[in-house]
Amino acid sequence: MKIICIGRNYSEHAKELNNPVPEKPIFFMKPDTAIVNNNDPVYYPEHSNDLHYEVEIVIKICKKGKHISEKFASGYYQEIGIGIDFTARDVQAECKKKGLPWEIAKAFDQSAPVSSFINKDKLNNSKSINFSLSINGIEKQVGNTEDMIFSFNNIIAYVSKFVTLKEGDLIFTGTPSGVGSVSIDDHFQAFIEGDCMLDFVVK
Ligand code: MG
């Protein structure tokens, strides 16, 4: 399986990193070795001195598709979870400056802790999902998927023009504003509609 991540999908977050608001979805990928399941701890990566958190709603692809039209895109995901797109911000800044790819800033081992998944039909409104991140009990990021620049269906249609989506693939759908630095011993808790879905510690 693969992990596709959307960048700059909330305009307030694009602004906080001094990035332009995109006209088309921006995506990059992480390998399956980035995933951390079962609320296992995450180890602060040795190659960064400025690890950042980005809380994101994650959708799980439920059937294979290529060139999926927006009209049918909602049939390609059934389950929703929440994850952290850990980013070595110092390394990413260096990559951006030199015009290099982002893998060492974004795709390293344990860079994608992810929760268990819930059926989207169990949510009151799967187009307006409230989510948040607390660290050490203090709320750091709050988002609602209505504020996404590109909807889940937009994302599926766009990405599947270039990359065949397969059952089990995950799409991280972008982070709202409020990203920041991680410290060792931080306790992460991520919530969907007030339910704690992800709960782990950084070591
Ligand atoms: Mg992100």
Two structure tokens written together for 46: 């040795």
Region class of 35: left (phi > 0), else alpha (psi between -120 and 50), else beta = beta
pLDDT at 41: 98
Provide the residue range defining the domain that includes 148: 3-201
Comparing 10 with 17, which gets the higher pLDDT?
Answer: 10
The Å distance, Cα 56 to ligand 1 centre, comes to 7
Which pLDDT tens digit goes with each residue over 113-168? 999 999 999 998 989 999 999 999 999 999 999 999 999 999 999 999 999 999 99
Distance CA 193, CA 15 (A): 26
Q: Please give the model's pTM, rounded to 2 decimal places.
A: 0.96
Which pLDDT tens digit goes with each residue over 38-75? 999 999 999 999 999 999 999 999 999 999 999 999 99
Handedness of CA 106, 108, 110, 112 (dihedral sign): positive
**What residues does the ion ligand 1 have nearby, CB within 5 Å?**
54, 85, 175
The Å distance, Cα 22 to ligand 1 centre, comes to 14
The Å distance, Cα 119 to ligand 1 centre, comes to 23
The Å distance, Cα 175 to ligand 1 centre, comes to 5
The Å distance, Cα 75 to ligand 1 centre, comes to 24
Strand partners, 56: 83
The Å distance, Cα 5 to ligand 1 centre, comes to 6
At 65, which CATH number?
3.90.850.10
Number of domains in the chain: 1
Which pLDDT tens digit goes with each residue over 15-40? 888 888 889 999 999 999 999 999 99
The Å distance, Cα 197 to ligand 1 centre, comes to 18
